[in-house]
Amino acid sequence: MHTVTPKHIGGTIPAIPAKAHAHRALIAAALATTPSTILLSRTSKDIDATMASLRALGSAITYTDNIIHVHPSSAPSVGGILPHESGTTLRLLLPVSASICNRVEVDAKGRLPDRPLEPLLGEMKSHGVTFSQDKPPFTMSGKLQAGHYKMVGNVSSQFFSGLLLAAPQMGESTIESVGTLQSRDYVTLTITTMQDFGVKVTTTPATDTTNETFTIANDTHFTGRDNYQIEGDWSNAAIWLVAAALTGNSITITGMNKDSVQADRRIMQIVEDAGSTLTWNGMDLTVSGKATKPLNVDLEQMPDLLPVLSALACGIVGESSFTKGARLRLKESDRLAAVAQLVTDLGGSVRMDGDDLYITGTGSLKGGQVDCVNDHRLVMAGALAALISENPVILKDSEAITKSYPDFFDDWNLLGGEAHVI
């Protein structure tokens, strides 16, 4: 549990590496025909879970002095996936491991066993794989076969990313999106990372009569990379953009890629539309000026931004809207309900209408205790809320932050904040 004092923060902070990019680079490197070195300045529980799982699938991986050495080797007779609570690790590695191993033991922790897998398991069953039961822990048997995969687009884009990463080991395969693919940029990130490691994916856009498809040719394989750089994480940089927009104090985040394909790069436009100023100097982004205009955010392509944006909405006078949030109910918590509860518990005004959330900001909150329901992004939201609160914010379950940003409270204090364990 942490307490965060209502004290403004400001200054310069380095970006942390993008976990979405790190998962993909590690997997591509582990599947490659030659060794790789990946540059990663910090890790997190989720990235560690992918490294541990890839070791259990046969790769030799070491992480020292901010460099990951990946030595691919042949898959063991019985492999393992140890995702802990990382949905990305589990959903990417299910098809990947079935493309190289005959048998895989799969475990999961926290809410992860109850997060959706059915559409992926269904398609894997139609392509040669059996499961001892339909939710982890389970044993998966049989090699995944090449072919045509059909996948619903509105449950998790991670199903697509997993099948794409598995395809080079299987042979020519096509993945078809049934309905619009939500969180599409996460699939783009998979495709660009695969390309970085030598595998081309051909995308055929949807027409009036056909769905979008992704095709991987026969006889294509991943090739290792030297000194492959993981880019800065826009989902976590969003914390600092929101902090600056809430207080008007300027914050510089160093090491960001302006042209990133990460879904949450959209935070730049959101904060700018709300009235803050963004200035680039090379890869360093400075955000200054208080946001004053209410937000209108469609969550379909950037689900992970809602928690931090809910704090921003409380700091802006007027009603902000967050629409199309159905998939937020399928994350580490029911994030729609958890965000609504957090805002209410801190004295804010929130209304839920189906899968849409409306927050009427007054510019300040009362503060008090909130339950972060074991969700790292709720911890970020609660800390940000302290910036506009009359009283300290006490964060129950703040340890959840280690899922994506273990040094978060240290960085908060480096920027002049006051957060400590109680």
Ligand X SMILES: O=C(O)C1=C[C@@H](OP(=O)(O)O)[C@@H](O)[C@H](O)C1
Ligand Y SMILES: C=C(OP(=O)(O)O)C(=O)O
Residue 134: count other Cβ atoms within 10 Å of its Cβ: 11
Q: For residue 304, state whether it binds ligand X (rule: CB under 6 A).
A: yes
Sole binder of ligand X in the list 89, 99, 158, 398 (CB under 6 A): 158
Q: Show contacts with ligand X in window 47-106 (CB under 6 A).
A: 88
Single out the catalytic residue among 185, 264, 304, 345.
Answer: 304
Nearer to ligand Y, 50 or 252 (CB): 50
At 400, give phi and psi (nearest 5°).
-60, -20
183: partner contacted, choices ligand Y, ligand X, none (Cβ within 5-8 A by kind): ligand X
| Residue 204 half-sphere exposure toward CB, CA atoms < 13 A | 13
How many residues contact ligand X, by CB under 6 A? 11
Nearest to 142 by CA among 170, 104, 183: 104
Nearest to 169 by CA among 196, 189, 197: 197
Sole binder of ligand Y in the list 322, 404, 409, 411 (CB under 6 A): 404
Helices and strands in the chain, H and E counts: 12, 24
Q: Show contacts with ligand Y in window 339-378 (CB under 6 A).
A: 377
- Mapped onto helix, strand or coil, the DSSP state of residue 13 is strand
Rounded to an integer, what is the distance from CA 63 to the centroid of its chain? 21
Whether residue 304 lies in the annotated active site: yes
Q: How far apart are CA 224 and CA 299, in angstroms?
A: 35
Nearer to ligand Y, 52 or 217 (CB): 52
DSSP single-letter state for residue 389? B
Q: How far apart are CA 157 and CA 153, in angstroms?
A: 7
- Cβ atoms of 84 and 100 closer than 8 Å: no
Tokens of 132: 């001892």
Of 58-66, 151-159, 213-221, 344-352, which part binds ligand X (CB under 6 A)?
A: 151-159
Q: For residue 264, state whether it binds ligand Y (rule: CB under 6 A).
A: no
Work out how close the CB of 304 gets to ligand Y at its nearest, in angstroms, rounded to a whole number: 5
Which residues are part of a known binding site for phosphoenolpyruvate?
19, 87, 115, 158, 335, 377, 403
Residues designated as active site:
304
Which residues are part of a known binding site for 3-phosphoshikimate?
19, 24, 156-158, 183, 304, 331
Which residues would be at the binding site for ligand Y (CB under 6 A)? 46, 86-88, 304, 331-332, 377, 404
Which residues would be at the binding site for ligand X (CB under 6 A)? 20, 88, 156-158, 161, 183, 186, 303-304, 327
